Every structure is written in C-alpha cells, then in structure tokens.
Chain A
Amino acid sequence: MAYLERASPTLKETLLKIYRAEKPIEVDQHFHEFGSIEYHIKYSVSDPNIVHVSTSTLLETQGAVTLKEISSYTYEVIKNIGVGVIDIVDPPRLGFQLTLGLNLDNIPRGKEAIKIITRISELQAIILSSQLKEMLRSLNFQDDSRSINNMPIRIVYHPSEPFYVFKQPEKITAVFPMNFKDNSDVVIATSFFQDMGKAPQCSWSPIPPLQLRGEPVQDLTTNSGFVSFDITSRHIEGKRLDKTVWNLLNFYACAKYHIKCSRGYIQRRMRKRMETLVKLLNNTSLEEEAAQNENGRCKYVKEFVKVPKGKLMMKQRCKEMTRRVKISKFRIKINGCARFRFNQRWISLPKFSSKPSDKSYTKLD
C-alpha cells in the first residue's frame, strides 16, 4: 500500500542516524509499515562501510499472493539513485524481495547525502510505482481489437483494499471499491465521492461497473460505492506516468486522511460551540448580580455587609478564649512556683474600672 509521503520516515531516520554517527553503531532493525511493507536494516561494527537494507511488499494479483519479482528496469532505477552507492545483493535476504548494500563511503557529503538517503527511503514507492507503471504501459499498448478479452486486473497492495484496472476503448479505467467501518465515515466519504464523481475523468457509482462481473463478491460488496478514474494515453506519457501512478496508489490513503481530518475538524467545532453555549448559560445566573452592580451601587456593598458579621464572630471567639484562660488559670499548678500562687494577681487580666467597689474578689488557693 502506498502512502502520502514517498519516503519512509523510519527508514530515513535510521539511515541518517547511521550516516551521522561518529562511531559505528550496531543496528539490526526490523519494522513494518502500513501492515504490508516490511523493512530490515542491518549495520554491523565489523563492516562499518556497508548498510544492508532489505524490503518486501505484499502484492496480490489475480488472487495469488506472491512476492513478485522486480523487473530489471526497476533495478536500474534503484541503482541510479546513487551511482556507486547502491549495490543490489543477489540473492536477497530470506523472506525479502530486495536487499540493497549501501556504501557509506561513496555517499557525497553535505546536502547531497540527505538527498540520496531520502531517495533510498523512497524504495518501496519506487518498487510499487514501477510495477503499476509497467502494467499501465502494457495495457496501453495493447491492440483495441483484443480489448474484448481484457479481463480486469485485480491489484492488492494492502489487505482488504484491492482495486481493479481494465482496458476500455481509448482509455484505461481504474476502479476502487470503497469500504469504511464507521457509519459516519461512510456518510462523509459518500458525500465526498459524489462530489468528486462530478469531475471529468472521474466517476462514482453505488454499483460496480459491468466489467467487474464475475469478480469475487467480497470485493464488490461496499458501503461507499465505486470510484473510477479514466486514464488516457496522455496520462501515461513521459513524466506524467509517475504522477498518475502515484495518485492511483495513494487514493485510498488520501480518502482516509480526508475523512480523518474532517472528523477532527467536526470535533473541534463542536467543542468550540459547546464552550460558547456553556458561557451563555453561566451568564444567566451571574448577570443579575452584574446588573445590580452596574446600577451605580457600591460594588463592595456585599463585602461591607459581610464584614461586621465576621468581626462579631471574632469578638465572640476572643471572649471565649479569654474566659477559658480565666478558668484554666485556677487549675494551673506549676511545681516550684508555689510562692507565686498566693499572689496570682500577676496572671489575672487587669480590669480597668473607675469604681473601686467594682473590684471583684479573686479567690486564692
């Protein structure tokens, strides 16, 4: 399955890390991308000049799953990425379609190195594109009189995402059966494909085209219809072929990415609207106070009203504390301070009274 970016980000990052490392580091990395592309990178300290990169992709044509052999043209294209840098290792590593030996010493310095490494990371894109390019070229050059016998070719680069290519008079048609798991995705996608289908050289239909009669039922059972692209000979001329092939390979990825972005956008807008509504509701309770405040009354009226209440409580608390201290002073017996007990007036709280007769009697122990 192809992807929006040609270069594999993991492969590029690993190769750059190896290239930029001051000392050789042992690397034996195995990873998959998009469920159908497999990579293996091997770099050993014992052989610091060569990095082995192996790759394979699932390719299913006409119902048979094979590791299709790569054509010589594809090998030439890969070698031309960096002359003297890339060697094709024959036979490839077990379980892989292709193994390359990258000579780090022959990689030019500076920006050119990053360019070459980026091109090497596009390995899978090159392999997949070349296979489809050859198919389109061979279909294009077929005689029209044989078109009746042209069965549709079923291509699977990713499990559960097959598409068909068949020849028609003066054009080649690529048909994509579209399926989505979520109901909301189906609706958004259907609306998207219906809009797309109104463009020239593109069409959408809820039922499969007649040419796909006889194909497996599970492939023709869809919930978002069939999108067809018409490819004329002008699309296959020269440099346009690369673009056309890349777009065909990326159609599924593009559609899914658009659906995902649409859902994200819907979510963001819903969240924003919800915040607005909540603010609006909160204003129903606060606006009354705000309205009163704006009527010219002192906005600290409430504060002033509250303050005396607080002071009162403080006074009461102080009184309580004082009373307790007064009670407790009669019970406190400090050893060694008995002589002070008879004269406990020094711990009694002074009373300022103008009338001498108001002096209260203090009981002495």
Chain B
Amino acid sequence: MANSLRLYLACIKNTLEAAMCLQNFPCQEVERHNKPEVELKTSPELLLNPVLICRNEAEKCLIETSINSLRISLKVKQADELENILTKKFLRFLSMRAEAFQVLRRKPVQGYDISFLITNYHCEEMQKQKLIDFIIQFMEDIEKEIRDLKESVNTRGRLVATEFLKQFITNDAIYTEKLNVRHHSSRFSASPSPSLSNFVLRRPGELLQIPAITQLQIENFYGLGNVI
C-alpha cells in the first residue's frame, strides 16, 4: 500500500514539475486586469489539457493548467463514516483559513475535497521546487493526520467505555486488579478479566499501538487535569 502511495505521489510530482511553467499574462477580455485563466476558462487557447491521476476509485488528483495559473484538486480517501466526517471537518478547517496558506482555494472544486490555486505571482515569490514539495508533503500529512485522528478518537472512545463499564462488571475484584496492573505498566501487557478479553483485545495488533494509559491521562481527557 505504501508502494502505491509512493508511485501516486511521484506521478503527481512529475506532472506538477511539467505543469508549473507559469508566466504573467494579462487578461484578454478586460484591459488592465490580470486574472488566473484556469479559473475563468474564457480563452481555450490559454488552457492546457487537464490531467487526472487516480490512485484508486476513491483517491484522485486533477491538475488543470493555464498560461498563468495552475489548479490542483485532491480527493482524499474516506473508508468509513468516521473518516468521512474527519476529512470533511479538517479540510474545511484548512479551507476557511486559506489566507494563511496563500495557495489554497477557499472552496474546493466540485467533486473534490480540497483545491490549490497557484499563480505566476506565487511562482515568483516562492521556489517552484519547494512549492511542489509542499503540495506532496501536504497530501502525505493529510492522510497521516486523518488516520491518526481516527485512531485517537477510537482509542479515546474505548478508554471511556472501559472506565464506564467497570461499574457493570460483576467480577469486580479480578477486573480492578487487572486494570491496576495495566495502569501502572508501560504497555497493556497484563491480560484483562476473561469477560472483557474480546472487548479490550479485539484487535491484537492494536495492543502494541495503544500508548501507556495512566489515571492522569484519563483525567486529562476529561479536562480535569492539564491539557494533553
């Protein structure tokens, strides 16, 4: 999977290197105006063929180029409802703060999750190669961030559920002892009560990924202590 991501990103990088040859070009329709031609699309002779790069059905990248501007639209993978919500929230958060990013478009192109608009002025102010690297890094970071967010939300939910359901477990003595061992160890190495084995360890691989949970962190989660 990592291999396909690398190939996908390499393809996008190469396409951007070829496409990002922008120059200043005043508007042909209105004098003394200078508009990004890729947005207006009034003069077909100024537009290049758009390139669509698809990693799979859910992930794609559309690169539209014109003489003085370049538009990159990204569709991010959303496997389930939670990822869908997180992606929407996060990308909308970034789009609303587009002025901080300069090259980000406030509204994504229809059918995509986020869009960039790079003009010749950006190419003059910034290094072309660094800009391309930024776009690629952005794509990697978004994917990583959404994955981390989903994992964190699920881990927190499981923690809260464990704490809440502690009260309903009849085998209180055994459960409390196991949980105390878990709280004081660096990893969840102790096996929990048999009645909870499926609940806590339902994905064995995840056991190693769950960070050390202490009572302090649970309190922090509820905002009773310092913010994590």
Contacts and interface: CB of A to CB of B under 8 A. Distances in A.
A184 B88 CA distance: 10
Interface range for A = 35 or more
A273 B145 contact: yes
Given A202-B165, A232-B170, A274-B94, A258 B126 contact: no
Interface stretch (A208-216, A283-291, A292-300): A283-291
B131 A284 contact: yes
A247 B168 contact: yes
B156 to A, nearest CB: 6
A184 B126 contact: no
A188 B153 contact: yes
A312 interface: no
Report the contact-size class of chain B (Cβ under 8 Å from the partner).
35 or more
B141 interface: yes
Interface stretch (A99-107, A193-201, A339-347): A193-201
B195 A200 contact: yes
B153 A191 contact: yes
Interface of A: 183-184, 187-188, 190-192, 195-196, 198-202, 229, 231-232, 234-235, 243-244, 247, 251, 254, 257-258, 261-262, 264-266, 268-271, 273-274, 276-278, 280-281, 283-285, 287-288
A201 B175 CA distance: 14
Interface string B152-164: 1110111011001
A285 B125 contact: yes
Nearest to A190: B81
A58 to B, nearest CB: 25
Contacts of A247: 164, 167-168
Interface stretch (B1-9, B31-39, B52-60, B95-103): B95-103
B137 A280 contact: yes
A191 B156 CA distance: 11
| Most chain A beta carbons < 10 A, residue from B137, B160, B195 | B160
A284 B134 contact: yes
Interface in B5-57: none
B106 to A, nearest CB: 15
B141 A281 contact: no
Contact of A199 (B125, B134, B154, B165): B165
Contacts of B170: 232, 234-235
Given A192-B161, A266-B89, A273-B141, 4 more contacts: A192-B157, A251-B164, A261-B221, A280-B137
A147 B94 CA distance: 57
B99 to A, nearest CB: 10
Given A195-B154, A262-B157, A285-B125, A201 B168 contact: yes
Contacts, number: 123
A199 B85 contact: no
A288 B126 CA distance: 9
A271 to B, nearest CB: 8
Interface stretch (B63-71, B180-188, B196-204): B196-204
B127 A266 contact: no
A277 B101 contact: yes
B134 A281 contact: yes
B168 A258 contact: no
B82 A187 contact: yes
Contacts of A261: 156, 221-223
Given A199-B199, A257-B222, A270 B167 contact: no
Contact of A235 (B168, B222, B223): B168
B167 A243 contact: yes
B179 interface: no
Interface string B58-93: 000000000000000000000001101110011001
B149 interface: yes
5 contacts: A195-B154, A265-B152, A269-B145, A280-B134, A281-B102
